[in-house]
Amino acid sequence: MKYFLLMPVLLITAAAAAQKPLPVIHAGSAEAVIVEGDEDRYNWHITPAAKPDVHTTTKITAPKWIRFYTDRDSIRVKLKPGAAFDFIVLLNGKDSCYTRLESPPLQHYANMPVTRDTIPFELTAWNNIKIKAVINGKDTIYLKFDSGATGLLLTNDILQRKIQTPDILHNRLQIGNLSWDSLHVYEVVLSGQGTDGRFGWDLFDGKIVEIDYDRHIFVVHSRMPAIGKGYTKLPIEYTHYSICVQGTLEVQRKKYTSRFLFDNGYQRTIMLDTTIMREQQYPQDLEIIRKVVMKNGQGEEIPVITVNNEKLMLGALPLYNIPVQLMATANPARFKTHILGNEVLKRFNTLLDFQHHVIYLKPNSLQDLPYIEAKKSS
């Protein structure tokens, strides 16, 4: 394995490459793997026609090791936020693929004028945060805020029936007084009931998002507002372009600490990851409350059973007797994590601080609502 420590921001162009030889690694197959940090893996296809062939990492807040593996060779580099590293993959001894590993620059609005945009939302019966929006200055649509997603995703039905945008790469989205230009629209089969699509957390990167379920308002701040007592602070882990936190499940007097995808786009409580359950030896003999078939955003059916988990700890915040979902298939998140959904998250007024990379939670008036699939008392 070849090792490189990248200190300054490094952007090597083809002209610069002619002056200074780039590192070269070898491959006999076009299939490769990129690993960010300790274990977050991404499959990669080597493409000599791309100049350069770019992999952009998930958001990183401190230097992180990035590894690139082929079937014959490997290279490793430590990237800072906003940095890049160029090298060549020589495929089958003849095709040179100019490859770049780059990390996005950190976004930060704290030094800009103070702004505070307040947007009303409806918390639907299906636990969706439903918000009115306008696309391309003319079409009113209703979107779900989905902290488990990125970008702008619209259903194929709304695209064909109403919007018919001629260019999926350049679209303008307006929510309240906020607007985004040149957004790529990604097409999906399904969204939350009563919505035409969803938008992800990265539209607010570098800002603070406040979700007040008591007052049904969604507030976007350029600076962290003053908050009172009663909040629990959870560090954000950025992985696979998603935001995760640590939590602990407790059942049968045992504790199981793991990563949870912070996903208020998931309508139920907690979807448990089968790989983590197997590694941690989570009990397999819990009483089954319900069996259902759910659908993901692409319309794919996922068999799910529901069992009772005795306790969840998010920092210092406990929740008891949560009906959790177990899948018979691989995790729809496509990486190793439990999924923490909005039937749990709606019980906490929330601040997503994308400047200091933490989440604040405070119990609200929905704290004691019964769960939809709660075990019935005998």
Q: What are phi and psi of 280, to 5 degrees?
A: -90, 0
Reading phi first (left if > 0) and then psi (alpha if -120 to 50, else beta), residue 347 is in: alpha
Q: Annotate 104-132 with DSSP letters as a single string.
A: PPPP--TTSPP-EEEEE-EE-TTS-EEEE
> Which pLDDT value is given to residue 34?
98
**What stretches in the chain show pLDDT beneath 70?**
1-19, 164-166, 296-298, 375-378
Distance CA 33, CA 94 (A): 20
Residue of 271, 272, 260 whose CA lies nearest to 359: 260
Buried b (16+ CB within 10 A) or exposed e, 268-301: bbbbbbbebbeeeebeeebeebeeeebeebeeee
Distance CA 164, CA 185 (A): 11
Distance CA 26, CA 334 (A): 28
Cβ-Cβ contacts under 8 Å for 295 (sequence gap 6 or more)? 190, 301, 302
How crowded is the C-beta side of 283, counted as CA atoms within 13 Å? 16
> Which pLDDT value is given to residue 26?
98
User: How wide is the angle at C-alpha 348 spanned by C-alphas 218 and 124, nearest 5°?
Assistant: 60
- How far is C-alpha 163 from the chain's CA centre? 26
**Distances 177 to 117, 174, 184, 211, 253 between C-alpha atoms, Å:** 7, 7, 20, 17, 50
Q: What are phi and psi of 277, to 5 degrees?
A: -60, -45
> Which pLDDT value is given to residue 202?
97
> Which pLDDT value is given to residue 248?
98
Strand partners, 56: 102
**317-362 per-position pLDDT tens digit:** 999 999 999 977 777 788 999 999 999 999 999 999 999 999 999 9
> Which pLDDT value is given to residue 376?
60
Strand partners, 336: none
Distance CA 295, CA 302 (A): 6
